[in-house]
Amino acid sequence: MTIIDFLFSFLLLLYKTALKMSWLFGNKNKNTTSSQTNLQAHRTKQIDSLKKANLNPIEVIPNTEYRITFVSGNSNITLVVTLPPLFPQDCPSISVHPPVYHQWVDSQSKIVNCPNLASFSMHSSLAVVVQSIIDEFKTHPPQPQSHNFGVIGPPPFPPATSSMTSYSGSPGLQGYHQSPVPQFGTSQSESMQVTGPSSEQDGRYSDQVPDVFSAFPDLKTKSLTELYELQDEEDKILEMIQKLPEVGKFAEEREKISNECIELARNNLSYKPVLEQLRQWILEKNNLCDKTQEEFEQHQGRLMTRSEDFHPSVIQNNLKVALMEAEEESERIVEQFLEKKMDVEEFKQTFLQTRSLCHARRAKDEKLTQIILQHGYSN
């Protein structure tokens, strides 16, 4: 899909260039004579300094925006110089295209750390500022940022070439420079030659677009009008793209991955009976676990009840009650004997048994009290 994006970007660039040229030729008779103020004179002087310094500026917006292209390392770098309304009282704004990594460039691709630009004043030279940036970039080439070709954005800036046409013969177009529309199959097309993705480290692409003409050699023989017509015929564009070897390889790879996915799905379905059997086994074990847990909780509750019944404090209380009952029984026997309701032999036998039981329970109570105090059982 990367080749599609580059083809559309290339055609969009041609379209915008043709529109701009038609706008220029349609305004030849426009009169722009106006009186210049002192500030405008300084502004014109600063702009002329760019031209006299052989920087080959491209005037995009008259007296406002200029582009200067140069080679840094293996890449073409374009400086976009924007002049504010109160220039040169106000500092110009200079940005870089394409986006690069450099100590002078911020995240918005603007030059911020250039000493000459930071100290720019009314008496500074714009050409000196631009030349210092170019020298810095040539001495320390910036690193290009990786491109996201899946995002549709503005087309790349046209490269600066020595064959720039100066439309100085028409009033209102003085100093305006515009790159000519390339004629395919001629030497001018070489100035806009595009190359394929390079094998740089980290899988990055170079700043130049891929070689569209190598991928689509038929485009070299087409005129600008035919390219405009081709831009609106999506069926022909898709047909050209489908004939590319890369697209064929992509289709084969997609078919291979699709077959692998189908085979993997079949293997997964073959495990379904085993998974169902294991699932049923887990459900049975889960039910057994729930039943066992319920029985355990019942036995645990019974154990807690029994444990409370046989607690030392509970046994001691029951023993004290039994001791009081034995003492009351012995007193009742004595009263019956005194009332002559019981003879001596019966009294002696019954009283001795009752008192023996009473003394035994008292001894047990004292021993249990000692054990409770020794082991610290709480009531």
pTM of the model: 0.33
Name, in order, each residue with C-beta under 8 angstroms of 44's C-beta and a sequence gap of 6 or more.
36, 63
378 and 328 part of one domain: yes
**pLDDT tens digits in sequence order for the chain, 379 residues long:** 455 555 556 555 555 555 554 444 444 444 434 445 778 888 888 888 888 887 888 888 988 999 999 988 888 899 999 999 888 888 899 999 889 889 899 988 899 889 988 888 888 889 899 999 999 998 989 988 864 443 334 444 444 433 333 333 333 333 333 434 344 344 333 434 434 444 444 444 444 445 666 777 777 777 778 777 777 777 877 877 777 888 888 888 889 999 999 999 999 999 999 999 999 999 999 999 999 999 999 999 888 888 887 888 888 888 889 889 988 988 988 888 888 888 888 888 888 998 899 999 899 888 888 888 887 765 5
Query: What DSSP state is assigned to residue 67?
Result: E
Q: Are 168 and 174 in contact (CB under 8 A)?
A: yes
116 and 222 part of one domain: yes
Q: Last residue of a domain, which of 285, 308, 331?
A: 308
265 and 283 part of one domain: no
346 and 201 part of one domain: no
| CATH number for the domain harbouring residue 156 | 3.10.110.10
What residue numbers bound the domain in which 293 lies?
272-308
Rounded Cα distance, 2 and 209, in Å: 10
pLDDT score of 154: 42
pLDDT score of 344: 86
287 and 328 part of one domain: no
Rounded Cα distance, 220 and 184, in Å: 5
248 and 202 part of one domain: no
225 and 248 part of one domain: no
74 and 169 part of one domain: yes
Residue type for 153, please?
Answer: G
Q: How many domains does the chain have?
A: 4
Q: CA angle at residue 139 from 157 to 146, to 5 degrees?
A: 45
Rounded Cα distance, 254 and 41, in Å: 64
Give buried/exposed letters for 346-372 (b at 16+ CB in 10 A, else e): ebeebbeebbebbeebeeebeebeeeb
Rounded Cα distance, 289 and 311, in Å: 32
Name, in order, each residue with C-beta under 8 angstroms of 375's C-beta and a sequence gap of 6 or more.
none
From residue 320, give the alpha-carbon distance in Å to each of 309, 314, 365.
15, 10, 7
Tell me whether residue 120 is exposed, middle or buried, using C-beta atoms within 10 angstroms of its C-beta: 0 to 12, 13 to 18, 19 or more. buried
202 and 261 part of one domain: no
Report H helices in 221-376. Answer: 224-231, 234-242, 245-270, 272-309, 312-338, 344-375
166 and 296 part of one domain: no
Helix (H, G, I), strand (E, B) or coil at 166: strand
252 and 266 part of one domain: yes
60 and 182 part of one domain: yes
